[in-house]
Amino acid sequence: MAFNAYLVLKPKTGLPAFKTETIDTTFSKYISLEVSHFALGYSEPGTATAPGKLAFQTLNLNLLSVVNSPGFLTMCGLGQTFDSVTLYLRKSVSNSTARIYTIYHFGTVAVTGVTIDGNDGDGAPAVNLTLAVGQFAHHGSTTSTTGQVTPSLVGSWNAITSSTWAESPLDGPGWV
């Protein structure tokens, strides 16, 4: 089943002004961007008898617009971080209803790479964005046969302190 992905940014005061790029009514009240695809990974580099510290790979995103590229470029060049970034995944459950089913929440987020990709056959260039994250929480949900969505915290980690992340409130709409 196909899903839609939306990135909600929470910039610190004084960062470049970012613009909302989605017209989706659920996300249009926030600094949100549509994501065409993303890649996220983490690993535990130790062994079963000698566990190591959980390591995050970068969060790689492909955005279908370049409106916020100057802001990402400035942040990357100055080494500035977002307070948090939240990635929402939503899928249709009927012809008229869509529900968020997974939320990835990140804290202490730095822009480490920006690539603008386009050719004259594209409708518009795309931005490939690379983010380094210090904290991570993965929220999931289950949906009953009656359509009741039950959210839950799947897991969280703070790579800075090597402990569970006591995360700040989610940015964006929450569970809708």
Please list the rounded mean pLDDT of every run of 10 residues in the chain (176 residues): 85 79 88 92 72 79 86 88 91 76 91 85 82 90 72 82 83 77
Block residue for tokens 């964005």: 129
Q: Please tell me what DSSP assigns to residue 122.
A: S
Instruction: Return the amino acid letter for 23.
Output: I
- Rounded to an integer, what distance in angstroms lies between the CA atom of residue 85 and that of residue 158? 14
Q: What is the dihedral of CA 25, 102, 128, 74, to 10 degrees?
A: 70
Residue 147, pLDDT score: 65
**What does the block give as tokens for 40?**
């996220």
Beta-sheet pairing, 126-143 with 98-117: antiparallel
Residue 34, pLDDT score: 92
pLDDT digits (tens, 9 = 90+) for 122-160: 777 888 999 999 899 999 887 777 667 778 778 888 888
The DSSP result for 9-23, as a single string, is EEPPTTSPPP-----
Q: Tell which phi-psi region holds residue 91, choosing left (phi > 0), alpha (psi between -120 and 50) or beta.
A: beta
Residue 169, pLDDT score: 81
Q: Spell out the domain ranges in the chain.
A: 3-41+56-158
Q: Do 128 and 117 meet the contact criterion of CB atoms below 8 Å apart?
A: yes
Instruction: Return the amino acid letter for 75.
Output: M
Residue 132, pLDDT score: 93
Q: Do 60 and 41 meet the contact criterion of CB atoms below 8 Å apart?
A: no
**Which CATH number does 3-41+56-158 carry?**
2.30.110.20
Q: Tell which phi-psi region holds residue 172, choosing left (phi > 0), alpha (psi between -120 and 50) or beta.
A: left
Block residue for tokens 């659920």: 26
Residue 120, pLDDT score: 72
